Chains A and B, each alone.
Chain A
């Protein structure tokens, strides 16, 4: 065990890294459209993800209008409503958050942060984006097939997903399954890139334990995704066969509306196991990049090293590993053998320990820091609030017996929106504001950024906090309308109307964000080279914003961890990772290391 003291940290390990062979684009099309530059691919991923995310945002407003004012918006019928919730859920989880964190942030930041010129397989990386785009187009095209998109809920549970009582059983469900399969193929191409780049293309001195937590988070999430998505892929293929060829992987003997169907012998629960074996790690595929990015936002803007870096790394890896043994906590009342409950409740609550430690370490990073309340920092603080709130309600649902009354109520809706919707989106916004100057070379409008922050944070919190309490009451999720009941007071409808109004306000407020980004990118004032005074490599490039090949002629050499803020003995309050130690001549990549410095820092 080595401690990370400045003296020991400023050594360069002898590992040599071969320079990546770059593809040099020769035309406008190969530079900006069929680009093999990870930075361009990142922008393509981000625009597509945010674009399709806006569709999901509109869908959420539409479904809230139905819930808030069921008698007023008669244009929305049950079929529409179930299609809205399904498409909203799937888009947000897969096509927005997964694609944005891994394809967007991952592509942009991994090579820059580890000191690589690009991803190691640029051509495959390019294909990854285009297949992702195809997946999005297939998904959106399901609005134009007979019967429209599937309304089976984002969990797509058979048998109902492929039977006539559910909207989209004619064609929408197959479009959805094909789109998911395409997404997984595209993601795998990108994912193998991210993992290999992190493992093989780090620059000299960039040991694993010197990597910024952003890279750790995205790296671990990618490993999870590569292991988890195949389960969904298999499930999607099998359900497609059930739907089109009449196989019965998930279909037992069924009598639908008085008619005996041909199916027989399959198991609906099998699909649920496959789905959640993917679906639970998926939560962490979204959460771990958010954990990583927010760690860096907090550290940079609090001008303090992340507290307990090694604990943070092991927590990310530990959470990632544990995330594969908790999936059936989504299935406590699915009808699986109830004795599983003991095991899965225990593993689920154990995962709370490393997760809580991460929260403590974020707050302890603020402690004795020198906190700049920049826009990214505000979003990071909002992440802490919403993540703690959403995390603790997970302790309710994970504790199997509490899940019995609360499963499939609005409590669940509130929980997962808070913890894997709002909290990661706070990080997405924080991250975009943070790296906006790097990507565009311009500074965004801070006032607009703050207005956007307050409306989004407080609004989102006001939307989802009260919904938990409707769940206690027993209000179910996925109900087109509540109708008459003996146990739900009228005040619940008032609350629903309130939540709907706030939802629309928060939704519209995102225009402020889009305007700010567009206007600042085009006409904003030029940013300084390293406006946040960050230590990590992406801010230390020769060109600003970084050009093709990222680092000019020579790759940077890394001398220390990513969190050298407030280091005693330095004049500046931060020391970039590639700044040579005082009294040592600058080295460049590819040269041998002076004898005295050739000890590993780890």
Chain B
């Protein structure tokens, strides 16, 4: 009897915990609400199976508990029942998979009007880059990276000259604008994730990965690294500020372009001086 009670308690307890749990997803701040919907559909389908299978198990344990005078039924197969169960399970799988694949199709199809920005990951901080007026990001290569050119942009690429560099872990994005995040790492694997956005992708050195989203809610959210990247992994944080387009433009205007940063670096005699000059320029920007 204790076993039956145990099984029922575990089953019911799981369901109760599900509904009463104070730990649930953070309020969404992007267009990926459909992912949450697919999760809910999956909860319903799998929840029914979970409860049905476990309560049936508990029932069997209760009803067919050992008695000396009882013999078990001898009926090795029941093809009809087995085909029914196969069919029903397949239907359940389709109910979960179909909306999932539809949502995935949206996820991998970047809208044509999406603005691009770049996230650069390195142990253990974030940097960001926006295209300038031409709307195109200049090309980059890890081999170009040095103290003056921490983003590794190709100095000769005209598209890169007006690129706006944000050498800081605070990112700003405009609300309502579809954006494609181009993801680049210069050392090991990282993963750019903002829990409120629901969308993430690994950043792989040697290649550029991407995902897209539309921020739908203003606020300041945490950026976390979601792919183990060494002993500083848990400290690789940043913030993203979703704000009105005009505030975003104002913020963007305060940042340095690649051409500006190279010009300043050129003034410095060596790397140390260039660092000092860049720090000074950051100060002047802040006081403006």
- Contacts from A to B (Cβ < 8 Å): 3-4, 6, 78-79, 82, 151-153, 157, 159-160, 163, 165-167, 252-258, 260, 266-269, 302-305, 307-311, 333-335, 338-339, 341-342, 345-346, 349-350, 352-353, 356-357, 359-361, 363-364, 366-373, 378, 381, 384-385, 388-389, 392-393, 395-396, 399-402, 404-405, 407-409, 454, 458, 461, 465-466, 469-470, 472-474, 476, 478-483, 485-487, 489, 491-492, 495, 563, 565-568, 573
Contacts and interface: CB of A to CB of B under 8 A. Distances in A.
B101 to A, nearest CB: 6
A408 B236 CA distance: 15
B77 A310 contact: yes
A160 B200 CA distance: 20
Interface string B51-72: 0011011001100111100111
A563 B73 CA distance: 12
B24 to A, nearest CB: 6
* Smallest CB-CB A-B distances: 4 pairs: A252-B206, A474-B195, A165-B230, A160-B188
Contact of A353 (B86, B100, B202): B86
B38 interface: yes
B136 to A, nearest CB: 22
14 contacts: A6-B74, A78-B232, A159-B189, A163-B230, A258-B147, A335-B207, A356-B85, A373-B3, A384-B57, A388-B53, A399-B42, A402-B42, A404-B211, A481-B234
Tell me if B's interface is mostly helix, strand, loop or mixed. Answer: mixed
B50 A389 contact: yes
A401 B103 contact: yes
A151 B231 contact: yes
Contact of B226 (A307, A407, A486): A407
A321 to B, nearest CB: 17
Contact of A335 (B23, B65, B86, B202): B202
B89 interface: yes
Contact of A495 (B23, B206, B222): B23
Interface stretch (B14-22, B155-163, B247-255, B260-268): B14-22
B222 to A, nearest CB: 5
B205 A381 contact: no
Contacts of A152: 228
Contact of B221 (A165, A266, A378, A487): A487
Contacts of A372: 66
Given A254-B186, A350-B93, A473-B23, A308 B226 contact: no
B54 A166 contact: no
Contacts of B70: 370
Contacts, number: 333
Contacts of B122: 255
Contacts of B232: 78, 165
Contacts of A563: 76
Nearest to A355: B89
Contacts of B191: 333, 408
Interface residues of B, number: 103
B93 A352 contact: yes
Nearest to A304: B72
A167 B60 CA distance: 51
B111 to A, nearest CB: 15
A359 B82 CA distance: 12
B206 A253 contact: yes
Interface of B: 3, 6-7, 10-11, 14, 17, 21-26, 32, 34-35, 38-39, 42, 45-46, 49-50, 53-54, 56-57, 60-61, 64-67, 70-78, 81-82, 85-86, 89-90, 93, 96-97, 100-101, 103-105, 107-108, 122-124, 141-143, 145, 147, 152, 183, 186-189, 191, 193, 195-196, 198-207, 209, 211, 220-222, 224, 226-235, 237
A561 to B, nearest CB: 8
A512 to B, nearest CB: 18
B198 A266 contact: no
A395 B11 CA distance: 19
Nearest to A340: B108
Nearest to B100: A399
B201 A335 contact: yes
B50 A349 contact: no
Contact of A159 (B14, B24, B187, B234): B187
B142 A568 contact: no
Contacts of B108: 338-339, 341
A3 B86 CA distance: 20
A345 B97 contact: yes
Given A256-B123, A346-B97, A408 B227 contact: yes
Contacts of A396: 39, 42, 46
B57 A79 contact: no
A307 B262 CA distance: 74
Contact of B24 (A334, A357, A472, A568): A472
A353 B53 contact: no
Given A254-B205, A258-B147, A341-B108, A465 B14 contact: yes
A4 B97 CA distance: 36
A368 B226 contact: no
A494 to B, nearest CB: 10
B54 A388 contact: yes
Contacts of A473: 23-26, 195
B233 A478 contact: yes
Given A345-B100, A360-B53, 7 more contacts: A82-B231, A151-B231, A254-B186, A367-B64, A373-B65, A373-B66, A408-B226
B103 A370 contact: no
Contacts of B50: 388-389, 392
B96 A341 contact: no
Contacts of A369: 60, 64, 72-73
A78 B101 contact: no
Nearest to B235: A483
A307 B76 contact: yes
Nearest to A481: B234
A159 B188 contact: yes
A160 B228 contact: yes
Most chain B beta-carbon contacts within 10 A, residue among A157, A165, A482? A165
Contact of B53 (A163, A359, A402): A359
Contact of B66 (A257, A303, A381, A392): A303
A392 to B, nearest CB: 4
Contacts of B100: 345, 399-402
B142 A254 contact: yes
Contacts of A258: 147
A454 to B, nearest CB: 8
B189 A157 contact: yes
Nearest to B9: A458
